[in-house]
Each structure stands twice: as C-alpha cells, then as structure tokens.
Structure 1
Amino acid sequence: MTALKKRTLIQLAVASAVAAALAGCGKKEEPAPAPAAAPAASAPVAEAPPPKPEPLKIAFAYLGPVGDGGWTFAHDNGRKALEKELGDKIVTSFVENVPESADAERVFRDMVGQGNKLVFGTTFGYMEPMLKVAADSKDIKFENATSYKTAENVRTYDSRTYEGAYMAGVIAGSMTKTNVLGIVGSVPIPEVIRNIDSFTLGAQSVNPKIKTKVVWVNEWFSPPKETEAATSLINGGADILFQNTDSSAVLKTAESKGKRAFGWDSDMAAYGPKAHLASSIINWGPYYIKATKDALDGKWATGQAWWGVKEGAIDIVSIADDVPAATKTKIDEIKKGLADGSFSIWKGPIMGQNGKEVVAKDAVADDAFLQGINFYVKGVEGKVPGGK
C-alpha cells in the first residue's frame, strides 16, 4: 500500500471517530412539556346563616317574695315553666316585693329601660301604674294579672280561683264538726269576695248547715296579721280555715292549734301536714307560655283572659287521706264538669246574705256578673267592707 493510500485511510478513520464522538456528546432533545391543566372550578361559597334573633326580654313584677309559698311562688313557678318551654328564645328576670303604690311605676319604667319588651305585673294594684307607663312605651307589651283595664298595649289575665275555692268548700263542708268555717280575707275586691262566696256555696252543697265567718287583714301578704286573724276565727268556733292571702301563716296556725285548713295558690301541704286538707293551686305556666308565644309570633293583641280548670290553670291537689272517698269522687266529678262545661258553680237559685235571690233558678251567672260581685251569699256572717 502506498503511503498516499495509507494516509487517506487514516484520515477517514479519524473523521469517523470525530463524528461518532460529536454524536455521543450531542444534547438530547427534551420532550415537549405537557399542556397545563385547566384550573379546577372553585367550590361554591356557602351563604352565611342569617343572624340569630335576639332573645325576647321578659320581666315580672312580684308583689311578695318568691319564697312566700303561695301567690308569688306560683307566679315564679310559671316563669320557670316558661323558660323551660322556650329556652334561648327568651330571657326572663323578676323584681320581688314591689308594692302596690307609686313605686310600682318606677319599677316598670326601669324594666322598660333595661330593654324588656314584655312585662308582667302580677297583682291588681299595679293596674294604674302600669297603664301610665304603657302610655309612654307604645312598643312594649304589658300584661296585668287580675285587673280589668286594658289599653292598646296592655292586656289583662286572671285565673278562676273561685273554682278552686268551691272545691275546697266541698271538702270543708264534709269534714267540719262545728259547721263553722273561718276565712281570712285579704283585700275586699270582687275577686276575693267571689272566692269567699264560692267557698261557702261549695260547703253548703254538701252541708246546708254551714256558716262562714270572715276576718279581713287588708293586705295580700302579712304573716303576722294572717296569724292573728286565723287565731281569732278559731277562737270564734271555726274548726276549718280557708284563706285568700298569700302566705302559709293560716295553715301553720291551724296546725299549731289542732285544726284543719287549706293551702292557697300553691301546694302548701309541707307547711302543716297534719292540718292540711287540700291545696287549691294556680298553674300560671300555660298562660305565660301562650302569651309569650303570641309576642314572639307577632300575634299578641290586647284583651282579657280568664283561665280555669278547663285550661289547666286551676286544680285542687294533695287531698288528705282522711277525706271521705265519696267526697273525693264528688271533687273529680266537679273537675270534669268544669272542664267540659257541664257544671256551673254559679247556677241559680242563689240567695244573697239578705235572703234575696241574686241568681234566678236555673240561670247561670255570666262573667260580667262574677267580676262585679260585691255581696256575701246567704250563710256568710258579717258585712262586706265598704258595702252598703
């Protein structure tokens, strides 16, 4: 092989090697990037729940202390039933020992100032102060127990306590040994006189020989005066006592003197277990619940409500074991009749203390008549204070 050919072959080999090297060192081609994914659709934003309505603020004005065991205790039990029923829809508060005087006006104005939108006054004597405050507070709803005057933002409510008084009378008439019953009266208004008469009518329905004596204390809650009055009645021959006052003093007095008596407004059996014949109670819970629901639902309107056995507002409870079975059966029949309307307490003939007919035979006294009673029925001794 000639030198020229040998050199040519070497050059070709070198060229091939260089080409191969250059090919091995060449930059790799990167794969094309994948197309970017479309952004995910954003989740819908939940709407914020509507703000929770503010609870309805409700205030109660009490005549006596919540621990009186009677009238005020019953109202406060009604307030507690209201709280249990409506929970966080409401907020309640109360002021106890509010007198039936100009001071009641100050309390009602303070309740309004604290933002209460529904105000309950639990006694007759708050009527005028409440009306005065209501006239200046048209956006507030007021309710007054046992009174009779209303306004566009004032409603009245009451319980037919005379139904419980009548049933207590039936028991008393069947249990007395002296045929003399004693009654401690509070304030001589139609409500109280009606209860005295109804108690007497109930007793006479089973024992026509019954006479009742009344001692007035001219206060709703005064344990010392109630005790004094009860003692006077016992000394006057009464062996069974009834009351239209707010404390348990009458029952306690009967217990201490070996006589019998009734609880009033609340179950007072524990205050005098040996003396206790039964308790005529008021359940304010159903009414307070209805009135508050009316306010919450925008259905509240002025008017007058008067609830009794039919509405579950009045009952007689804890009847003593020694009360005859026949009497207990009669009480059950009266309750049933009052509930379904087949029995009327004030059905004639009924005679007044002076012997004149006040309700004609077979006639039934209407509510207007009952709410204006200012006389004693036959069998009640003494004179109605302020009466003619």
Structure 2
Amino acid sequence: MKRTAAALAAVGALALGMGAAQAADPLKVGFVYVGPVGDFGYSYQHDQGRQAVEKKFGDKVKTTFVESVPEGADAERVIRQLAQTGNDLIFTTSFGFMNPTIKVAKQFPNVKFEHATGYKRADNVATYAARFYEGRYVAGVIAGKMTKSNVIGYVGSFPIPEVVRGINAFMRGAWSVNPDVKVKIVWVNSWYDPGKEGDAAKALIDQGADIMVQHTDSPAPLQVAENRGIKGFGQASDMIKFAPKAQMTAIVDHWDEYYIDRVQAVMDGTWKAEDTWHGLKEGMVHMAPFTNMPDDVAALAKETEDKIASGDIKIFAGPIYDQAGELRVKEGEVAPDEMLLGMDWYIKGIDAELPK
C-alpha cells in the first residue's frame, strides 16, 4: 500500500513537472520576408517589428524569420516548413504570399497565420496592412510644392492595387497644390532589385524628373536622386542616412505594436481571423522628419498629415474620374475600402498606361 502511494505520488510529481515545463514552453512565431532584412526598407521594418516582439516578451516567445523568399512556389515551401517545425503563429509579409498562405493554412488548421497586404482570409488566417497611401498623399503635396520641372519620377514594383492606389493618392496630393504636375512611371517588376531600381531612377531623371518617388524597397532610387542633385522620398523606413541631402521625408511602416498585440492575443486565447487596415491615425504609418525643404512647405506637410489623421482630409473624396473619363466616385461621396483594395485603374490626369 505504501509502495502504491509512493508510486502514485511520484507519477503525480512527474506530471506536475511536465505540466510546468509545458507551460513554460515559448510561443513560436515565424516571419516570412520577400526581401532581405538589410534592404533598409519594407522587410527591414517588418523585422524591426519582430525584434520588438522579442524585446516585449523575452523568453515567452521564440521567433524565426526567413528572408528573401520569392513569391510563388518557394513561398509555399517556406511557409509549410515553418508550420511543420512547430510555429504557433506565422506572419507572411508580402502580397504575393497570399495564395501560398491560404493553401498551407488549410493543411495546418491549428496554426494561426497573418498575411500582410492581402484580402483572403480563413478561420485561421487574418489579414493586415498599413494605409501607405496616406503618406503618399503627404509626399505628393510636398512634391507639388518643390518641383521646378513639374515632372515627377515614380519607380513602381508591380501594378497591383496597393501600388496603383499609392500613385493615385500621390497625384491627388500633388494636384491639390500644383495642377501642372505630371508623373512618369517605370515598373521594375520586383520589390527589391537595387540595380533595376537605380536604372529606373536614372532613366526618369533623364526624362526631366526633378523629384523621385518609389514603391520599391531598396534605397537605390533615393541614392540616385542624391547623386544627381534632385530631391526624393524614402520608402517604408527612414532612409535619410543614404541620402542626407535628397530625402525630404519617408513613409515609414511601423509594425511594432501590431505584432505585439497579435502575439499577446494568441497567448491570451483571444486571437481572431480579422482584417486590420491602419494608417496615420493609429500610428501604423509614420512620416519621417520633414527636411531639405523650406519651412512653409514643411508646415504645410505637417498640417496635411494631421488633417489626414483627424479625417479632415479624405484622400479619395469625389468626384473622381478614371483615365477613360468614367465617374468612379460621385461628388459628396468617399471611395469605400472595397474600391481602394481593388483599385486597378489610374485617376484622370495620369497619362501613363497601366500594365495589365
């Protein structure tokens, strides 16, 4: 009887010990990046968010990241590998990771996934994005004031709604202060290719552009602007150290709080597959300091930023016509998010042809 009691006690102690060990297991969180963390742009900012998670939770989490993952079959392989190796929460941070994320999520229903900039969700797949276009409107106001040639050069990655929406927002900002501005656009069909990005910037400057804008992830276009003596804007992170004389501001993606909140939700058991789309108001988009411009332009930029955050400026308020002259948003109305998320058309006044 004593031996039985002792054995039961030993088993109970072992079970308690195992339970304590299991309770102490860290939450495993994976991140998939389309570019290198050293791009000092989009992927760099996501990795800053990952590091913020580690700083906040310490040994309660274990994070892993995979960088420079091409969109397509490689992405599916990497996402599946992260799920197979025990990650509880996986962030896939590029638009082209959308279908691979959905496919892998079906195979791992107990793993939670978060996809950035996409629109497909499932019971275990949430979506999130920043309203980058709000910062692009501010940049457009600055460009409209600062250009002398009235020609803006724009280096685009892919003609997807996120990028097209940004071009439209930028031009609405520019036209709000200078109706004579024109934009020339070069598509490089890559998120991160410093060589192509730099060559595109040089070609645009040769065509008369004296302001450089980009929706690509390396500092190359801004560095070309610096070397050629024109002004420009940083992308996704503050790139001032790469172009101290050229950068007027940067549209900074700030993911720290979002990543911390979502990790906390998993820990608390409150995580839900929802959509989050935040901007200047919520702090997911920041503007880098306004510099290399007159004080009055900086003041106007700050005023514009504040009015967007407060809702006093509605970037896509009607009337809005597309290139073909079709009325897309009536006067007195504002384009709904559904329209913005699927925006695959240029607004009236942009002369460039949109690739299909």
Select 1:206's aligned residue among 169, 177, 181: 177
4+ runs deviating over 4 angstroms? none
**Contact map agreement 1:82 1:288 (CA 8 A) in 2:** yes
| Between 292-301 and 344-353, the greater mean CA deviation after superposition | 344-353
User: 2:4 maps to which residue?
Assistant: none
Which digits, 9 at most, give the CA deviation of each residue in 1:136-189, with x for residues without a partner?
Answer: 101100011111111111111111000111111111111000011010010110
Distance 2:42 2:228 in 1: 24
Question: Does the residue aligned with 2:38 lie in a helix, a strand or coil?
Answer: coil
Distance 1:328 1:101 in 2: 42
Structure 1 residue 70 and structure 2 residue 41: aligned?
yes
Structure 1 residue 224 and structure 2 residue 195: aligned?
yes
Aligned residues: 338
Select 2:223's aligned residue among 249, 252, 262: 252
Select 2:243's aligned residue among 272, 283, 288: 272
Distance 2:240 2:173 in 1: 21
Q: 1:195 to 1:103 in 2, by over 3 A?
A: same
User: 2:130 maps to which residue?
Assistant: 159
User: 1:341 maps to which residue?
Assistant: 311
Question: Does the residue aligned with 2:262 lie in a helix, a strand or coil?
Answer: helix
- Give the TM-score taking structure 2 as reference length: 0.92
Structure 1 residue 373 and structure 2 residue 343: aligned?
yes
User: 1:361 maps to which residue?
Assistant: 331
Question: Does the residue aligned with 2:281 lie in a helix, a strand or coil?
Answer: helix
Structure 1 residue 61 and structure 2 residue 32: aligned?
yes
**Contact map agreement 2:135 2:305 (CA 8 A) in 1:** no
- The 5 Å alignment of 1:66-215 reads 66-215=37-186
Select 1:237's aligned residue among 208, 219, 237: 208
Q: 1:312 to 1:107 in 2, by over 3 A?
A: same
Which digits, 9 at most, give the CA deviation of each residue in 1:72-91, with x for residues without a partner?
Answer: 01101111112222222211
Distance 1:262 1:129 in 2: 32
- The 5 Å alignment of 1:262-341 reads 262-321=233-292, 323-341=293-311
Distance 1:62 1:165 in 2: 23
Distance 1:336 1:319 in 2: 13
Aligned partner of 1:343: which letter?
I
**Contact map agreement 1:212 1:379 (CA 8 A) in 2:** no
- Alpha-carbon distance, 1:114 to partner: 1.7
User: 2:9 maps to which residue?
Assistant: none
User: 1:4 maps to which residue?
Assistant: none
- Alpha-carbon distance, 1:286 to partner: 1.5
Aligned partner of 2:157: which letter?
S
Which digits, 9 at most, give the CA deviation of each residue in 1:274-309, with x for residues without a partner?
Answer: 111111111011111111111111111112111111
Which digits, 9 at most, give the CA deviation of each residue in 1:167-216, with x for residues without a partner?
Answer: 11111111000011010010110000000111111111111111111111
Question: Does the residue aligned with 1:337 lie in a helix, a strand or coil?
Answer: helix
Root mean square deviation, CA, Å: 1.5
Distance 2:313 2:172 in 1: 14
Question: Does the residue aligned with 2:122 lie in a helix, a strand or coil?
Answer: coil
Distance 1:337 1:276 in 2: 23
Question: Does the residue aligned with 2:313 lie in a helix, a strand or coil?
Answer: coil
Which of the pair has more CA radius of gyration? 1
Which digits, 9 at most, give the CA deviation of each residue in 1:210-256, with x for residues without a partner?
Answer: 11111111111111111111111111111001000011110011111
* Matched-pair identity in %: 47
Unaligned stretches of 5+ residues in structure 1: 1-47
